[in-house]
Amino acid sequence: MKLYEQDSCGVGFVCNINGRADNDIVRWGVEAVKNLTHRGAIGGDGKTGDGAGVLTQIPRKFFKRIIDQLGYSLSSLDNLAVGVFFLYEDIEDKIVAEFVKEGIKVLGWRDVPIDTDAVGETALKVMPKIKHLLLDMEGIPEEQRDVKLYLLRRKIENKFGDSKVYIPSLSTREIVYKGMLVAPQLDRFYPDLTEEDYESAYCLFHQRYSTNTLPNWRLAQPLRLSAHNGEINTIQGNRNWMIALQNELEHEVLGDKKELIKPLVSYDESDSASLDKVFELLCLVGFSPEHAINMLIPPAWEHVPELSEEVKAFFEYQSLLMKPWDGPAAIAFVYKDKIGAHLDRNGLRPARYVLTEDGILVLGSEVGMIDLGERKIKEKGRLGPGDTIVVDLKEGSVKKTGEVLEELASRKPYREWIEKNLLRLSHLTEGKALGFPKDDPERIRKQIAFGWTQEEIKNVLQYMAETGKEPTFSMGDDTPLPPLSEKPKLLFRYFKQRFAQVTNPPIDPIRERLVMSLKMNLGHKRNFLKETPEHAKRLQIDSPILLDYQLKAIEEQTEFKVCRIPICYPKERSYNIVELQDMAGERRISELIMDALYEEIPINDLMMGIETLQRRVEEAVREGAQIIILSDRYINKHRVAIPSLLAVSACVKHLAKQGLSTRVSFIVETGEARDTHQIACLIGYGASAVYPYLAYETIKELCDSGKLDIHY
C-alpha cells in the first residue's frame, strides 16, 4: 500500500459540559474528525485509510426507533445495552448462546447500514460483517452491568479469537463507530451518524496515522474508552510486565472469573490498544478515569517545586504500583459521566481546547476543527506537559490539572503509607564513604574472560570516568555483525537500541532532567488493582547503577530478604571441598554434589548451568527472597560464567512461567558490563540494578597507575 505521509494522529472530543444530549454534538464530532484528515494516511486507492471513528453515548431515542422497527420488545430504554461486532465468520448463534448462559436477554441482531462505495478497495477486501447486538439488561443490578459485559466480552474474545470476532464496544453507555476509513467517508459509510435522532452529550473522535502496526479494521480508533495520538516507547517492557503481573491481579468485582482477563494485553495489537485495555480494567475496578490515566502516563513530578508534598507522595506511590507507559502521548478518554484528555510529561503532542459560554467544550489536536457560529468563547487554552482536563457531565464542571491532582492526592494517606513503608537506599547509605572494591588478584584473568580490550579501557571506560559522559563517535562501524563474525562477541552485541518509529527527538538527560528519573523500586510488585499500605513496602534506589557501598548496604539491611546466587557453573566434574563451599552459597553442599552428579546433561554444559541457576532462583523466591543478586564474581579457572544477560533473562522468564516473577527483583553483579548499552540491556531484560564490579576495579587500577587523575 502506498501511503502519503502527512502528520501524526488527530484526536479529541466535543461535549456539552452539562450532560445534555443532542444531535449537534455528534454532527460537530464528525465534522472535527473530517477536518483532521490530513493527520492520517491515505492508501493508493484514495479511499483506504489508517482508520477513523467516533465514540458516543448510546443514542437511546435512535435505538428506540430501531427496536420498534425490528419488532423487538425492550423492558426499558435504561436497560438497553448495545454490542458492536466485527464478524469474520458466521458465529452469531454461538455468541448469542454465551449471553444466554449469563442470564442476559438478547433482543436480536441488527445489520448496521453501511455504504461500501465509501470504502477503498484494499479495505473492502478485509472488511468484516458489522453488526449490532441489542440486549436487555433487565434483572441485572446497574452496578454489576459493566463488569458482567466486560467479562463476557473477554470470554468471547478468548473463546473465538481475533480471527473470528472483534468487539469494538459492548456497553450500556458507550458505542463505537469506526473502520479502516478516511475520515471524510465516516458518516457516508455509517449513515446512522447522519440521523437526526442520533443524540449524545459527547463525541470522542480519532483519525489514525499508524506507525507500529499496519492499517486494520480492529485497530482503528477510538478504542473501548480512549483514543490516543502518539506511541508508547516502552511498550515491549510494559507488555512483558503486564503479562507477568496478571498472575497477581485480583479484585472483588471480578469475583471468581479473574482468569478471563488473561491475557491482559497482546503482542499483536497496537500500543494504543494495550494502553486502552489496562485503562479500561483500572476504571472497571473503581479507579476514576483521571486517576487511571495519571497512573498510566504520569507527569513529571520529582523535580517540580510547584507540586505539593501530598501530590508528590501520590505519584511516588503510583510508581510503586506500575511502570509508566512513557512516550509522546495525547489521549482523550471517557468513562461513565466523565470525559477528558491528558498529555504526556514531555508535551510532545498538541491538545488545544475552547469552552463556550453555553457549555460546549471542544478539545483536539488543532484549533478551528469545527465552526461554532456566533457562540461566545468563555475560555480557550492548551494542555501543557503532563496536564489533565476532566469534564464531569453530571456535575457540569470542568477540572484542570491542579484541582485534579490535589483531589487525587487527598483520597488516601499516600504520604503516610510511604513514610512508614518505603525503604530508601539513600537513607541506608547516609554518611557512608564512597570507596572502591578491594584489589582482585584475578582481575586480569577476569578481564580476559569477559572479553575486555585495551581499546575499550582507553577509549570508553577511561573517557567516561574522566568526563562522566557517554562517548559518542561519528565514524561508521564496519565490524561484522555478531552472527557473522568469526570471533566470539559478547551477547550484548547481538542487541541494538530500538528507536521510536516516528520523528520523536532524542531525550537529552541533562537539559531535560525535569522529566527524567533513574529511580528503581526493588521487592515484591503487588496487585496494582488495589491500593494498600503494603504496596509501599519496597526498597527504592536512586539509580540502577550501584556503587560498592550501596550494594553492601542492600545486603546488610534486614527489611527485605536478600539472596546471593552465583551465575557460574563448573568447568570440570571434579573439584575440591573449598570450591564446593564457594559455589554452594546458601545451599547445602550435598545438594550441589547431586547437581554435579546429574548424568543426563554434562556438568560443563551451559544448558545445565542455566537449568541449575533457574532452579536455585525459584527455590530462593519460594523461601521468601525479595532481592536476588546474580553474580559472576566467582569465575576462575575452575568455573565458567553464564553470560549475565542470558542469566538474568533466563531467570525472569522461568519465574514468569511459575507465576513468581513479581515477587523478586534482580541485581546483577557482573564483570561483563562496562558501557551504557550493556547496562541498558540488562535492565531491559529484567535487572532492577547492576553492579559492574570489574569496571570499578579497572578504574581504580587506572587511578593507581596515574592514567586517571581522580582522587578517591
Show which residues are catalytic: 9
Give Dmax (Cα) for the chain.
92
Which secondary structure element, helix H or strand E, spans residue 121, and what is its range? helix 121-125
**Composition of the chain by helix, strand, coil, percent to 5:** 35, 20, 45
Round to whole Å and give the CA distance between 502 and 599: 53
- Which phi and psi (to 5°) does residue 31 adopt? -60, -40
DSSP-H helix ranges across 322-396: none
DSSP 533: G
Nearest to 49 by CA among 101, 127, 115: 127
Terminal CA-CA length for the chain: 61
Round to whole Å and give the CA distance between 576 and 434: 36
CA atoms within 13 A on the CB side of 245: 20
| Strand-strand pairing, 338-343 and 329-335 | antiparallel
Nearest to 338 by CA among 224, 202, 228, 227: 202
Q: Are 369 and 32 in contact (CB under 8 A)?
A: yes
Round to whole Å and give the CA distance between 7 and 365: 11
Respond yes or no on whether the N-terminal peptide bond of residue 566 is cis (omega within 30° of 0): no
Task: Dump the DSSP string for 175-210.
Answer: EEEEES--GGGHHHH-GGGG-TT--BSEEEEEE---
DSSP 38: G
Residue 156 C-alpha cell reads as 468471547
Give residue 355's region: left, alpha or beta (phi > 0; psi -120 to 50): beta
**Residue 636 burial (10 A CB sphere; 0-12, 13-18, 19+):** middle
DSSP 118: G
SS3 100: helix
Helices 676-684, 644-657: inter-axial angle, 10-degree rounding: 10
Residue type, 289: P
Residue 600 C-alpha cell reads as 543426563
Nearest to 394 by CA among 338, 335, 334: 338
Round to whole Å and give the CA distance between 432 and 548: 11
Round to whole Å and give the CA distance between 672 and 632: 9
| Strand-strand pairing, 627-631 and 665-669 | parallel
Strand partners, 382: 352
**In Å, how far are 219, 483, 621 from 624, measured between CA atoms?**
42, 40, 5
